[in-house]
Amino acid sequence: MRVLIIDDDPDILNIVKTACESESMEIRTATSAEELWRALQSEKPDVILLDIMLPDASGLDLIKRIRSTYSNIPIIFLTARKSDLDMILGLELGADDYVTKPFNPRALVARIKAVMRRTEVSGRLEEQITIGDALVNLRAYTVTRNGLTEEFTRREFELLKILAENPGRVFTREELLDKVWGIDFYGDFRTVDVHISKLREKIGEKFIRTVRGVGYKFMPGESK
């Protein structure tokens, strides 16, 4: 597993590097946005650990640029910021997980492995599904609607897959959080709401219904 770590704190880099290498992960490091782009052009990593606060750029801006080119590389934010707003914004922009400093190195390695397991499972899918006037490619993580093609983030894709494979079933926010983000994720239910909102924008409002006070369900009668 190739891991790219971007952080300007040498102590953090050393801690993460040591923890990852103890699990036979191949590590590359960068301390700035400039070094990040050079590393990505040199070799595509399997997962990116990205500090939100870098000397020459914001991680929140960088993730948008990364996602525009490398839509399916899992990204885990490393940050000293602990506000809910930062967490929700990071996830909305396409982060797969969010780890606040200080952190337990072993716990971070476990989070990396969890993200990669979900990546490997979803990466084996090849089918397409049609939802109303939207064609969803479950391998390419794209949705084509009204002649326009958009990419899903990995979380959006996994969320849609769970709902679409269980038409009519109501999932609570807690269930969706556990199934998509994992039981070790420390976020709250608003994370699910943000991603549901993004999905509705891409496939249409009517296919994912809110069950007040409970959660969400996919409407089978609206897809073909």
> How many helices (H) and strands (E) in the chain?
8, 12
**pLDDT tens track for 138-156:** 667 778 888 788 877 878 8
What is the enclosing helix (H) or strand (E) of 124? none
Task: Report the pLDDT value the prediction gives residue 35, as an integer from 0 to 100.
Answer: 92
Q: Which residues neighbour 65 within 8 Å (Cβ) at sequence distance 6 or greater?
A: none
- Please state, in angstroms and rounded to a whole number, the distance separating the CA atoms of residues 150 and 199: 11
Provide the H-helix boundaries in the chain.
10-21, 33-42, 59-69, 84-92, 105-123, 154-164, 173-176, 190-203
Task: Report the pLDDT value the prediction gives residue 124, as an integer from 0 to 100.
Answer: 44
**pLDDT tens track for 3-52:** 999 999 999 999 999 999 999 999 999 999 999 988 888 888 989 999 98
Span of 33-42, 129-138, 149-158, 187-196 with lowest mean pLDDT: 129-138
Order of strands, sheet of 215-218, starting from the edge strand that comes earlier in the sequence:
171-172, 215-218, 208-211
CATH 3.40.50.2300, applies to 2-122: yes
**pLDDT tens track for 61-78:** 888 888 777 767 889 988
**61 φ/ψ angles, rounded to the nearest 5 degrees:** -75, -40
**Closest to 131 measured CA to CA, from 54, 218, 23, 21:** 218
Q: Regarding predicted confidence, which is higher, 147 or 112?
A: 112
CATH of domain 125-222: 1.10.10.10
The model scores a pTM over 0.85: no
Span of 49-58, 90-99, 101-110, 170-179 with lowest mean pLDDT: 90-99
Beta carbons of 32 and 8 less than 8 angstroms apart: yes
Task: Please report, for residues 3, 50, 71, 141, 204, the alpha-carbon distance to residue 181 in angstroms, rounded to integers and kept in the order given.
Answer: 20, 18, 18, 17, 23
Q: CB 38: neighbour CB atoms within 10 A? A: 11
The pLDDT of residue 101 is above 50: yes
Task: Report the pLDDT value the prediction gives residue 92, as an integer from 0 to 100.
Answer: 75
Give percent of the chain with pLDDT exceeding 90: 24
Tell me the average pLDDT across 108-112: 90
Domain extents in the chain: 2-122, 125-222
Q: Considering the chain, what is the average pLDDT of its residues? A: 82
- Please state, in angstroms and rounded to a whole number, the distance separating the CA atoms of residues 203 and 129: 11
